């Protein structure tokens, strides 16, 4: 199964150049379908950071935190459906839609889980998917972000209001993870359903392609293809791994939705920052290299990045842009950079201030430490 999944990913994603991974600072997915031809910025992100964000938010805020994480995932799922041109049920024959769902779930298996099955009640808009070793929730037993994501994508495809329920979870001791997406009030599984409304106008902004166009790197030298060739990262059985840790490959607005939704909670930005900081400081200490800021993060799609030797400033050229950039203080990026720089600076370095501008034609950031 693992080798079969890897072969499917290489044949359908990498070899047709649908995933562009050879540009330092950029990871890009290209989509071409009926009425859709575009590219979207993506980032590789440690599974353990998402898991820890969920765990800490839920521990502090309970169901309010669960709903916030779910809402972030749902907004991302709907935006993903719009921007990548996922088909709506009403736009194609039932048989063709079923064939698309087979491909869509094969894609899920190629990046997020080891085994995926699903059932679809076409007339009643009920979509139930089951996973083994599903990213994130296999660790923390929560899975609200991915539940929201799946429901957001399904709501878009179904063309009507639905809600997602994470009914079973390997992280809670079940044999598999089970996500049921259905019309409100019609779930067959038992569990708590979090009702979430998504913002209007979730499609790609008109400036998106200009501000996210690929620019030649000024600081970074490595692309993600280089990390794969150097065996720093590996891909096998549906997972990207580094030092035994799994990394998710997400369209970059997923980070913005986590930051804007959890930022509404008092102390939410602090949790985002600290979860990223703790992981990347530990990662940096294991690898003992000041070059990680320049040579690793850009390869994961976060832009062209460098930090001053004084550890007082860091610069990012071409950070993934969306209109939500004006609504965040970039706590996840600040946490990642602060953690990596702290790992070799001999003291904790906290990038607490960030300024942004787009006058160069891309989203450029300047981070300043306390």
pLDDT surpasses 50 at 6: no
**Which residue, 274, 294, 292, is CA-closest to 344?**
292
Q: Is 35 exposed, middle or buried (0-12, 13-18, 19+ CB in 10 A)?
A: exposed
Quote the radius of gyration of the chain (alpha carbons, Å). Answer: 20
Instruction: Give residue for tokens 């495809």.
Output: 157
What is the per-residue DSSP string for 309-346? TTSSEEEEEEEPP-GGGGG---HHHHHHHHHHHHHHHS
pLDDT tops 60 at residue 262 = yes
- Show me where the domains of the chain are located: 2-182, 254-369
Share of the chain above pLDDT 70, in %: 92
Looking at CATH, the fold of the domain delimited by 2-182 is given as Muramoyl-pentapeptide Carboxypeptidase; domain 2 (3.30.1380)
Q: Is the pLDDT of residue 296 over 80?
A: yes
* pLDDT for the residue numbered 359: 96
Q: Residue 281: pLDDT above 80?
A: yes
Asked whether the beta carbons of 41 and 320 are under 8 A apart, the reply is yes
Comparing C-alpha atoms, which of 84, 55, 204 is closest to residue 149?
A: 84
10, pLDDT greater than 50: no
Looking at residue 11, the DSSP 8-state letter turns out to be: I
Average pLDDT, the chain: 90
Q: How far apart are CA 336 and CA 342, in angstroms?
A: 10
Angstrom CA distances, 325 to 114, 211, 260, 277, 365, stand at 34, 12, 9, 20, 11
């Amino acid at each position: 199964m693992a080798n079969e999944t890897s072969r499917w990913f290489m044949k359908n994603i990498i070899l047709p150049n649908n995933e562009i991974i050879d540009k330092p600072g950029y990871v890009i997915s290209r989509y071409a379908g009926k009425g859709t031809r575009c590219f979207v910025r993506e980032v590789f992100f440690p599974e353990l950071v998402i898991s820890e964000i969920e765990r800490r938010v839920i521990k502090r805020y309970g169901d309010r935190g669960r709903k916030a994480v779910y809402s972030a995932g749902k907004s991302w799922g709907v935006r993903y459906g719009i921007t990548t041109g996922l088909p709506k049920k009403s736009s194609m024959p039932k048989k063709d839609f079923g064939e698309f769902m087979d491909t869509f779930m094969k894609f899920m298996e190629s990046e997020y889980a080891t085994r995926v099955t699903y059932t679809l009640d076409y007339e009643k808009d009920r979509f139930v998917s089951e996973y083994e070793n599903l990213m994130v929730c296999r660790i923390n037993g929560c899975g609200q972000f991915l539940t929201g994501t799946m429901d957001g994508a399904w709501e878009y495809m179904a063309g009507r209001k639905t809600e997602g329920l994470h009914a079973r979870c390997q992280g809670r001791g079940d044999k598999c993870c089970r996500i049921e997406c259905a019309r409100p009030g019609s779930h067959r599984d038992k569990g708590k359903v979090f009702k979430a409304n998504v913002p209007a106008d979730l499609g790609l902004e008109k400036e998106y392609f200009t501000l996210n166009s690929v620019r030649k790197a000024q600081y970074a030298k490595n692309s993600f293809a280089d990390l794969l060739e150097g065996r720093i990262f590996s891909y096998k059985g549906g997972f990207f791994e580094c030092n035994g840790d799994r990394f998710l490959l997400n369209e970059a607005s997923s980070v913005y939705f986590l930051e804007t939704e959890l930022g509404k909670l008092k102390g939410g930005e602090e949790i985002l920052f600290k979860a990223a900081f703790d992981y990347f400081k530990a990662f940096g200490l294991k690898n003992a290299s000041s070059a990680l800021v320049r040579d690793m993060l850009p390869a994961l799609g976060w832009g062209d990045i460098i930090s001053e030797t004084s550890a007082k400033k860091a610069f990012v050229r071409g950070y993934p842009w969306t209109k939500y950039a004006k609504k965040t203080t970039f706590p996840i990026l600040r946490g990642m950079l602060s953690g990596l720089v702290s790992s070799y600076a001999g003291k904790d370095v906290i990038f607490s201030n960030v300024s942004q501008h787009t006058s160069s034609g891309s989203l450029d950031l300047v981070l300043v430490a306390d």
